[in-house]
Amino acid sequence: MSSLVVDPGARLRGELRVPGDKSISHRAVMLGALADSPTRVEGFLRGEDSLHTLQAFTGMGVQTRWEDDETLHIDGVGVDGLCAPGSAIYLGNSGTAMRLMTGLLAAQPFASDLGGDASLNTRPMRRVADPLREMGASITLQGDGTPPVHIEPVAGLSALRYRLPVASAQVKSALLLAGLYADGETVIEEPAPTRDHTERMLRTFGYAIATCGSEVTLRGGGRLSGQSIRVPADISSAAFFMVAASIAEDADLLLRDVGVNPTRDGVLSILRLMGAHIEVLNARHWGAEPVADLRVRSAGLHGIDIPAELVPLAIDEFPVLLVAAACASGVTRLRGAAELRVKESDRIGAMADALQALGASAEPHADGMTVRGGPLRGGSVQSRGDHRIGMAMAVAATAASGPVTITDSDNIATSYPGFVAQAAALGMRLQETA
């Protein structure tokens, strides 16, 4: 188990491209595997989470090969071409893979078992299993509604009209993937907008899907055509450097090719409301996904009440946004983010403990946190095995008065392989220790 030691005094200058978007990489593998012809994925994230998804599909008979370190070829087998896996499917730490694949595998003519690491096996799955059971799926969870998940084959699935009780792109996507195999139209209504990568990618693969207001509609029985996909740089990974450049002195960073999908750009809006200097440059599209370069410079941030409508659009970025709050003048209040309690860790509790360990005023609530900005000191913090907690606290160290040690930093590779090297190249002062 490694630790990460970060010294203050970073001078962040230069440019970089953070790794490919994890959400899009997952979906490119899934839809590429179900396509009737080959798919080429450029910029695929070779992080542990997305590689577990890739391994799951190779275990179900999908042939893949690497053109280079970030370019993947997938020989799709068609929507009816998957084979029974020879053993239980292991998904590591990936809640996205667990939930989406539960929907996709619910309609297959073979049994399957899905599990993961200790953290993933505590994640709530009833929110996915219950509506899939309404479609006719046979899904067994543990007594507390967590993985491992066992799926038995059924004669067929029925289409479903379903209103999500909580805004969740993972649940929405799981139901849409199951809907590919259902008889009739599956209609999902969202209480608030969530990331729409699944809808955009289905259209890219030639599948008809309609969006009208808060409803998404898909008719089962269609086919997918292989495509050439370019994966943008992950805005969730870029967010760490957006905040680092905002709170460091004399910083000037250019983050290239960042995905700026409007259902994912809440971090941009929140940081700008806090006074961040972020320019969106060279806006363009890579297929269905909007992409831009982001220039970020040092700024005097101030506290805000985070608008409720932005919370679902920045749910994965709140660990580092709470660091921004701790370094801002005044008070920042986050509410309506109870989903953070059931991520890779309890991110509300984990961030409150970590910020308090560095002297910050951070008061956790059931659905958020109140943070009063002020000076941070050095110290030791726990990542709780959560990659985003680890990277967020590395960013916090850039504004601390002394070194910060982050324990259990190995998990960073789940979403951001190469984080330490890229951060060091830009001027952060950090090193890994055994």
Identify the band that residue 168 occupies on the pLDDT scale cut at 50, 70 and 90: very high
Question: How much is the average pLDDT of 417-423?
Answer: 93
Q: Verify whether residue 316 is a known catalytic residue.
A: yes
User: Across all residues in the chain, what is the average pLDDT?
Assistant: 96
What pLDDT is stored for residue 254 in this prediction?
98
Identify the band that residue 414 occupies on the pLDDT scale cut at 50, 70 and 90: confident
- Alpha-helical segments (H) within 251-409: 266-273, 318-326, 347-357, 387-397
Q: To the nearest 5 percent, what fractions of the chain are helix, strand and coil? A: 35, 30, 40
Identify the band that residue 57 occupies on the pLDDT scale cut at 50, 70 and 90: very high
What pLDDT is stored for residue 413 in this prediction?
82
What pLDDT is stored for residue 252 in this prediction?
97
Question: How much is the average pLDDT of 362-366?
Answer: 98
Identify the band that residue 139 occupies on the pLDDT scale cut at 50, 70 and 90: very high
Q: Please determine, for residue 361, whether its predicted confidence score (pLDDT) is greater than 90.
A: yes
Q: Please determine, for residue 433, whether its predicted confidence score (pLDDT) is greater than 90.
A: no
Residues in contact with 66: Cβ distance below 8 Å, sequence separation at least 6, in sequence order: 72, 73
Q: Please determine, for residue 1, whether its predicted confidence score (pLDDT) is greater than 80.
A: no
| Residues 276-286 pLDDT 10s | 999 999 999 99
Q: Please determine, for residue 221, whether its predicted confidence score (pLDDT) is greater than 90.
A: yes
Identify the band that residue 409 occupies on the pLDDT scale cut at 50, 70 and 90: confident
How far apart, in whole angstroms, are the C-alpha atoms of residue 345 and residue 389?
Answer: 9
Taking each helix axis from N to C end, the angle separating 387-397 and 235-247, rounded to the nearest 10 degrees, works out to: 20
Question: How much is the average pLDDT of 127-142?
Answer: 98
What pLDDT is stored for residue 98 in this prediction?
98
Sorted by where each starts, the structural domains of the chain and their CATH numbers stand as 3-20+232-433 (3.65.10.10), 22-230 (3.65.10.10)
Question: How much is the average pLDDT of 22-36?
Answer: 98
What pLDDT is stored for residue 11 in this prediction?
84
> Using an 8 Å Cβ cutoff, are 333 and 362 in contact?
no
What pLDDT is stored for residue 434 in this prediction?
77
Q: Please determine, for residue 408, whether its predicted confidence score (pLDDT) is greater than 90.
A: no
Question: How much is the average pLDDT of 368-392?
Answer: 96
What is the torsional sign of CA 49, 53, 58, 62? negative
| Residues 316-338 pLDDT 10s | 999 999 999 999 999 999 999 99
What pLDDT is stored for residue 104 in this prediction?
98
Q: Which residue has the higher pLDDT, 9 or 218?
A: 218
Q: Which residue out of 316, 353, 367, 408 is catalytically annotated?
A: 316
| Residues 62-116 pLDDT 10s | 999 999 999 999 999 999 999 999 999 999 999 999 999 999 999 999 999 999 9
What pLDDT is stored for residue 84 in this prediction?
98
Residues in contact with 316: Cβ distance below 8 Å, sequence separation at least 6, in sequence order: 236, 343, 388
Give CA separation, 259 vs 19, 198, 376, in Å: 11, 15, 31
